[in-house]
Amino acid sequence: MTDQHEPTTSQPRAPSEREIEAAHAIYTPRNLKLYDFVVHGFSNRFAWRCPTRALDAHYETNLSSNHLEAAVGTGFFLERAKRPGFDRLTLLDINGSCLEEAERRLAGYGPDLLQASLFDPVPVSQPYDSVGLTYVLHCLPGAMTEKLAVIDNLKPAMHGETVLFGATILGQAIKPNLAAKALLSTYNRKGVFHNREDDFASLAQGLRDRFDQVRVWQEGCVALFRAQGLGAGE
């Protein structure tokens, strides 16, 4: 699907510490053991109707050997990408348990770890050739315009040709089935998701405001994106 929707507008508002905490508190060591199966095994297929292989393909196409994975979770996609190696791989997450789990799985690549919030400027001095931002925007509190401030915080990690890619579950202009409706309702109530107002057009516009080359497309309830050429509009 192409970006045919009109962006929704909403009043900017800074997320509270409590909202930021709620968005990642669920990722305990115990829950992380179930995460891959629940999210990428079950929900992608039966609720979000975005096959995990579409996300795998996204990684295969866009992953470079100088990569930053922002909000790494368990490291699921990097592990499945089965790259022979990386010149430089950094795993970023606000949640220490996620970093531990992802480091364990990706130990063979000798990744650097960065425990940081995407709501703060990312403390890196050298840019990467690719940055992954998968399944985190829908968790973050705030309207799409506020969430996309995390891309501005990632600027120190990007040069003019860096590819930013990822995916996010939308809450607007989708046709959720019963499973998707139930998950959206539960996760938004618990503060794990904040995506009731997230729409395709606002995401696409926010990316176009920042990058020269933007591609956004939709699979089921999920928007996948690729953006390159940081500096648009500056």
Ligand X SMILES: C[S@@+](CC[C@H](N)C(=O)[O-])C[C@H]1O[C@@H](n2cnc3c(N)ncnc32)[C@H](O)[C@@H]1O
Q: Can you give the binding site for ligand X, defined by CB under 6 A?
A: 20, 23-24, 27, 71-73, 76, 93-95, 98, 117-119, 134-136, 139-140
> Rounded to whole angstroms, how far apart are CA atoms 95 and 226?
25
Structure-token pair, residue 62: 């866009």
Pick from 15, 210, 32: which is nearest to 131 by CA?
210
Between residues 189 and 234, which has the closer beta carbon with respect to ligand X?
A: 189
Q: How far is the CB of 61 from ligand X (least distance, A)?
A: 16
Between residues 27 and 211, which has the closer beta carbon with respect to ligand X?
A: 27
Q: How far is the CB of 107 from ligand X (least distance, A)?
A: 18
Q: Which residue of this chain has its Cβ atom nearest to ligand X in the complex?
A: 73
| 112-115, strands of its sheet edge to edge | 112-115, 88-93, 66-70, 128-134, 158-169, 222-230, 211-219
Q: How far is the CB of 200 from ligand X (least distance, A)?
A: 19
Between residues 212 and 224, which has the closer beta carbon with respect to ligand X?
A: 224
> Rounded to whole angstroms, how far apart are CA atoms 188 and 196?
7
Q: How far is the CB of 93 from ligand X (least distance, A)?
A: 5
Residue burial 40-71, b: 16+ Cβ < 10 Å; e: rest: beebbeebbbbebeebbebbeebbbeebbbbb
Q: How far is the CB of 212 from ligand X (least distance, A)?
A: 25
Between residues 24 and 210, which has the closer beta carbon with respect to ligand X?
A: 24
Between residues 76 and 128, which has the closer beta carbon with respect to ligand X?
A: 76
